[in-house]
Amino acid sequence: MRFFIALTLYRLLLPLLFIAAFPGWVVKMIRRGGFGTRLGERAAIYTTRLDDEPCGAVHVHAVSVGETIIALKLIREWRKAAPDRKFVLATGTATGHAVATGAGLENLRVTYSPLDFPWMVRRYLNRFEPARIVLIEGEAWPHLLRLCRRRAIPVHLVNARLSPRSAGRYGKARDWVRPLFSMLEGVAVQEKEDIAIWENLGVPAEKIRHTGSIKFDPGSGAHPARRPEFTALLDAFGPCRPAVMAASTHIGEEAWIAEAIRAAGDGVLPVIVPRHAERRAEVKADLEKAGFVVSLRSSFVPPADAASACFVIDSTGELRDWTAHADVVVIGKSFLSTGGQNPAEAILARKPLIVGPHMENFEPLISHVIAAGGALQAADQTALTAAIRTALDPASRERLTNSAAGVLAVHEGATARVVSWLE
């Protein structure tokens, strides 16, 4: 009865939420170039010939860019076990769509996942007739799950993750949401302690598997790699300058972190990678206001004053390989915002890692890394500057990177374990 009431409220509120969010969504799509990417598929409006669609494929749903990268990693590994398997990757954002199409995987249909209106989901299912659906991390939509159950389409959730905040919210409403999560055919969790959370939310114990994290699996997928063109760009600021990279920064962080980097020593180059490349004008203005001479990756001009230079990488899909060129990596969204960003790329690239006090979305991994001496944590600008100086020291660098790699090794083989479980 409670689930029926909750579903009724969801159906009443969904159109209102869509109308409220639509203007902001349109602005984002304009900034990110989404309107040239078959965006109508988000509303189950398709232009591809029906006969050309890969019916009976495995569908992997990934909403964000990070989830899309995990999905690509899973598909590559899965193809090793089942080379003839057909896949469709359904993304939720234009940036994720761009990353998926840019990956260059052959015979992979990239589409947009439908909004969770019943008629849109029906059109999507009627068109593709998926053999199964695999959700990445936590996107369980009520209408999608209900309609898949009616059609006997199994839905699995892999790399399952709930932030402490989300787990607390769901825990309080568990009697309302248990019927929803019980529709999942299976859940693959990243950490053993997550098993109890999903049992509490209605997933039977026999349907939960601890596999480790695909995202943090160091042995599967491409690692950060140095590119000659990136080296040439950095050399324009002066050869052999130590580069401290702020990865996936959010509003207000760019100048704040760059100032801390500048204070770490003469010759240290601030390299800023905003989470959203379309913020380039805002980021550039903030940095110039702080006294930096800014060079943008998208329209690169060598700096007139190298000593005051700041390099802003306003590109999509390049962060992993830029990480290989950094001497130290500072994680964005962990200082002036909450949640943090993915530290795995820096650890895989064997780069000293610095985080702020807010890494909630990457617990318990980040706590394990810090406890093992694999990362430095700074609460303010002064502490961040001191941490950068420490991380630039060769002996400290070796200690930090070795300790962090040891923690990540726990997830070795997670992708293959997920594939084996799904197969």
Phi, psi of 197 (to 5 degrees): -60, -45
Pairing of strands 108-112, 87-91: parallel
What CATH number matches the domain at 228-410, 3.20.20.80, 3.65.10.10, 3.40.50.2000, 3.40.190.10? 3.40.50.2000
Residues in Cβ contact with 409 at an 8 Å cutoff, skipping those fewer than 6 apart:
218
Percent helix, strand and coil across the chain, each to the nearest 5:
50, 15, 35
| Sequence ranges of the domains in the chain | 2-210, 228-410
2-210 CATH fold:
Rossmann fold (3.40.50)
CA atoms within 13 Å, Cβ hemisphere of 261? 33
SS3 call for 140 = coil
Instruction: Please give the chain's pLDDT, 423 residues, in tens.
Output: 676 787 778 888 887 887 877 676 666 666 666 566 688 888 889 988 898 899 999 999 998 888 999 999 999 999 999 999 999 999 988 888 888 998 889 889 999 999 999 999 999 999 999 999 999 987 789 999 999 999 999 999 999 987 777 777 776 777 777 888 899 999 999 988 889 889 988 899 999 999 999 988 987 667 889 999 999 999 999 988 999 999 999 999 999 999 999 999 999 999 999 998 889 999 999 999 999 999 999 999 888 888 899 999 999 889 999 999 999 999 999 999 888 998 999 999 999 999 999 998 888 889 999 999 999 999 999 999 999 999 999 999 999 999 999 999 889 999 999 999 998
Contacts of 212 (CB under 8 A, 6+ apart): 190, 410, 411, 412, 413, 414, 417
- 112 forms beta bridges with 91
- What Rg do the C-alpha atoms of the chain give, in angstroms? 22
Which residues does 345 contact at the CB level (< 8 Å), separation at least 6?
224, 247, 319, 320, 323, 329
- The first and second tokens of residue 85, run together, are 């398997």
Distances (CA, A) of 119 to 32, 116, 124, 144, 247: 27, 8, 9, 10, 40
Name residues whose C-beta falls within 8 Å of residue 387's C-beta, 6 or more positions apart in sequence: 354, 376, 377, 378
Residue with tokens 């026999």: 206
Pairing of strands 293-296, 269-274: unpaired
Q: Positive or negative, the Cα torsion across 333, 338, 342, 346?
A: positive
- Beta-carbon neighbour count of residue 290 at 10 Å? 15
Neighbours of 248 (CB within 10 A): 20
**Helix segments in 152-298, DSSP class H:** 164-172, 174-181, 194-200, 228-235, 253-262, 280-289
pLDDT given for residue 23 in this prediction: 72
pTM for the model stands at 0.81
The DSSP code for 373 is T
pLDDT for the residue numbered 233: 95
